[in-house]
Structure 1
């Protein structure tokens, strides 16, 4: 165990969030130590804090981050100190059935804690969100949990590639296969939902209809590529059909993770269309569809796990697209804070305000 204390955002079982000193685990031969330079505040972390997803506490939050390699273990040869990297919370093992059959996003080992989480200053064992715990000044992770990116790419945008952007862009391109001219609905305009809008515009879709419970999201939606913004209310289904010649949309993306909003997306989709669930919800939130409507509608209902992507291949591709200007992520970031501002960022997310908050660390 490292003797040096670093700062991290720690969640407690009573819902408390605070920046605390922690000790990282010792660097193993296959590990990498990364100094975090930017980290996004993601809804998946909030889902662990509020009980939507099961979690063990105390828990270091954060899994969407970028930084600089500070140290590598004796057996690491893919990166060297000074490299700029994006963290990968779901590194595929490359050995299980899914990996061997071209589905690394469904890897049997991905998303599990991949390294000891370290301890609090007084020796209590820590857990880390999705194997990373990246809302911290430093992390120690296996070498396969980092992906190199160009040093010219800003850390704030690089951080978002590791979760929100890869998830949203992949859902549009890999999972749904949206084509030019197809109509798209996006329900829920957090970081992932806005990334879906950006990707839908990039794919040439239209109309692109954005829906959120917060009217304050309209400006963000239009900046991200939506052609229309609609508030989430009882008239929604009729309004969407009015914009699609009475049919409903070709593709609906549910980016909330609730049965009610999945149902909303389902009702707004045309016969033969596709509903892609991107939001991660609670296991006891059940969705009910009748056998007749499943048959009659001929719709496809599926999920998109981590954008159906191979992060090792697609994060560098996204990085190049950001650098050449073909992928504009500027609308995604509405707040920049230091680590001590992260607790308020979670409260702001819970209120449905803004898009991504990025925690920026000093060099």
Structure 2
């Protein structure tokens, strides 16, 4: 069993500690990946806070990029040395959802007890989100990776593993936006900015960003929003209706707040849809006026990881980036050394960061903008 350094959580909300843990070799269908960069996502923070449950000790992190170090039996299409993104999207390939092109909601359960990580005394370490990328290496199912070009910087590649595909995919796949439609994106953080980019790529007429921060609304304009409305306004949906002349065709909620979900249908036009992207903590609930929504032909749609198909959508997004049509460099707020992971989490919690990236390789310069 290989010994690696990983950031462990022994108590929800307590600082992570970098410790030596054991990582077993990949089994059939699995790959081992050396992690070069991993971004801090709010889902990692929710797990760390205890909002999504899960056993302890645990290793979080799921938005990563690196190089394949070993390949298990039966894996095809990947070789040692391939540059890849590592995601939490684990798909069996044969359940009804996978067979219908929806691998993000694969129905085949994963045996959480079969973690590839163990403490020195043999205690299993929970592999959060089937990834555990706050570590030097991971062992994951081959369905969780996708190749990227060798010349794509790993900090940029890591963003493609979650925040970018979740936001862009929510607009393009889940909302199924068409040219000329009007869109509201609630939340101008990392995922929200990518939802804005997705709406722009899909050809939306007006893209209105909603956020509590004027600075974030300014940033949203740089990423393709046509308008910004402060969520602190009295009845901000009225401001949206004045801008559009009606409600929106789609409202993409990218923040994990049940209270925001309560308000989301107020922004809709007849026939519009709310796309649920942000994930509140377990147990939180939202309420809706079903009679009004049914009468207006409105709908609620869940979107997990942007409804993407990794090996179709990652090459597409890389190509858009290289063409200059998808902003990725501008998403990175700061680059941090692995030893600074708690500071990176704290900075993300402050609300100011778009995406903080942990650089795992020692030869990478750390900077914070």
The aligned residue for residue 203 of structure 2 is 204
Q: Which deviations, in whole Å up to 9, do the C-alpha atoms of 1:267-324 show, x marking residues without a partner?
A: 1111221111111223422222233322333211111122112112212222222223
The answer to whether the 8 A contact 2:179-2:203 is kept is yes
Per mean C-alpha deviation after superposition, the further-off stretch among 72-81 and 155-164 is: 72-81
Question: Where does the alignment leave 5 or more consecutive residues of structure 2 unmatched?
Answer: 364-369
Cα distance between partner residues in 1 of 2:222 and 2:119: 42
The answer to whether the 8 A contact 1:90-1:110 is kept is no
Give, in angstroms, the shift of residue 229 of structure 1: 2.0
Question: Where does the alignment leave 5 or more consecutive residues of structure 1 unmatched?
Answer: none
The answer to whether the 8 A contact 1:112-1:130 is kept is no
| 3-state secondary structure, aligned to 2:162 | helix
Q: Which deviations, in whole Å up to 9, do the C-alpha atoms of 1:85-106 show, x marking residues without a partner?
A: 1113112111112122332222
| 3-state secondary structure, aligned to 2:43 | helix
The aligned residue for residue 10 of structure 1 is 8
The aligned residue for residue 27 of structure 1 is 26
Is structure 2 residue 245 aligned with structure 1 residue 238? no
RMSD between superposed Cα atoms in Å: 2.0
Summarize the Cα distance change of 1:251–1:114 in structure 2 as closer, same or farther, 3 Å threshold: farther
Summarize the Cα distance change of 1:148–1:115 in structure 2 as closer, same or farther, 3 Å threshold: farther
The aligned residue for residue 225 of structure 1 is 224
The aligned residue for residue 366 of structure 2 is none
Give, in angstroms, the shift of residue 202 of structure 1: 1.8
Aligned length: 360
TM-score (norm 2): 0.91
Q: Which deviations, in whole Å up to 9, do the C-alpha atoms of 1:137-195 show, x marking residues without a partner?
A: 11122223221111122211211111111111111111111122211111122221111
The aligned residue for residue 281 of structure 1 is 280
Cα distance between partner residues in 1 of 2:29 and 2:293: 48
The aligned residue for residue 95 of structure 1 is 94
The answer to whether the 8 A contact 2:38-2:358 is kept is yes
Give, in angstroms, the shift of residue 60 of structure 1: 0.4
| 3-state secondary structure, aligned to 1:13 | coil
Cα distance between partner residues in 1 of 2:207 and 2:113: 39
Cα distance between partner residues in 2 of 1:34 and 1:351: 31
Cα distance between partner residues in 2 of 1:154 and 1:243: 39
| 3-state secondary structure, aligned to 1:197 | helix
Give, in angstroms, the shift of residue 348 of structure 1: 2.1
Per mean C-alpha deviation after superposition, the further-off stretch among 62-71 and 258-267 is: 258-267
Give, in angstroms, the shift of residue 115 of structure 1: 5.4
The aligned residue for residue 45 of structure 2 is 46
TM-score (norm 1): 0.93
The aligned residue for residue 172 of structure 2 is 173
Give, in angstroms, the shift of residue 330 of structure 1: 2.4
The answer to whether the 8 A contact 1:217-1:354 is kept is no
In the TM superposition, 1:240-255 aligns within 5 A as: 240-245=240-245, 247-255=246-254
Q: Which deviations, in whole Å up to 9, do the C-alpha atoms of 1:42-77 show, x marking residues without a partner?
A: 111111112221121111010110101112234433
The answer to whether the 8 A contact 1:58-1:127 is kept is yes
